[in-house]
Amino acid sequence: MSNSERSKLSIVGAGAVGTSLAYAALIRESAREIALYDIQKAKVDAEVLDLAHGTQFTGSSRIIGGDDLDVVTGSDVVIITAGAKQHPGQSRLDLAAVNVGILRGLMPGLVERAPDAVYILVTNPCDILAVAAQKFSGLPSARVFASGTVLDSSRLRWLLAERTGVSTSSVHAMIVGEHGDSEFALWSQARIGPVPIQSWRPVDRAPVSADELDSIAEDVKTAAYRVIEGKGATNYAIGLSGARIAEAVLRDEGAILPVSSVLDGYHGISGVALAVPSIVDASGVSALIDVPFSEQEERQLQDSARTLHEELAKLGLG
């Protein structure tokens, strides 16, 4: 029996993100059992029923849920999507105080019911909330981390694939830092196949210029705002990326993903959660990869850290 066949994934919050994540996890067969929790009974019951009606077509996975926190009992992974919604023109950090308050009430009950779980924060601002959740839970930082820039990196790879005419899977590039306005592309380590991106010379199209790379990175940074302006929420891609992170834990993959855990001396940074290349397995974040940064990237990482330190201090979490 595989890990996924005997695993339980719980999702806290049955809004647009939580339900998209549950749907993605069912289709991808990320876990043997998926539990969906929300305080709104009618909403969560209806979502679970709708998802359950399709399980004939989703392999061996099953879906349960409700408004009783006991549905998360025995979870291997708990993904938290509950929180205030980001509105057009509102930054992720604007949501911080409200969502920290929600977490303060949630974490003790979750840990009581799922003491051995790995906890993944998707609610924004996810880097701030990773610090808060780790403090409120008392769990080691390896077991409480945020989705970080996994989605941002997927956006980056898609844009680069479109521009270069290769498959997304052949683009190796990451966004790191804050999941927010101070994030940046780690261009010094970006590759198309085995070729550094600055050295990529396609036969049938122009090389990607430095200005284009800057423009692509800016498009990634503002992508969520454009989606929110048009449809009110980002949900499908974050649902898929959340399921992907859960799989790395449930299947003990040792996958390298730019998730966001509380740092302790990484590039001299401690006490904040930032997305950096991390090894994700059954223990959570088992190691951080000490990637060489360019001088500019090092400055950008330190700027990201300062932004989050300032916000944590305002919230009394510094």
| Active centre residues (catalytic) | 179
The amino acid present at 127, given as its one-letter code, is: D
Mutual angle of helices 150-164 and 236-250, in 10-degree steps: 110
Distance in angstroms (rounded) separating the CA atoms of residues 246 and 237: 14
* H or E segment and range at residue 131: helix 126-137
CA 228 vs CA 57, 87, 219, 262: distances in Å: 30, 7, 14, 28
What region does 285 belong to: left with phi over 0, alpha with psi -120 to 50, or beta?
Answer: beta
The amino acid present at 245, given as its one-letter code, is: I
* H or E segment and range at residue 43: helix 41-52
Distance in angstroms (rounded) separating the CA atoms of residues 145 and 79: 10
Joined tokens for residue 64: 């349960």
Q: What single-letter DSSP state applies at residue 262?
A: E
Distance in angstroms (rounded) separating the CA atoms of residues 226 and 239: 18
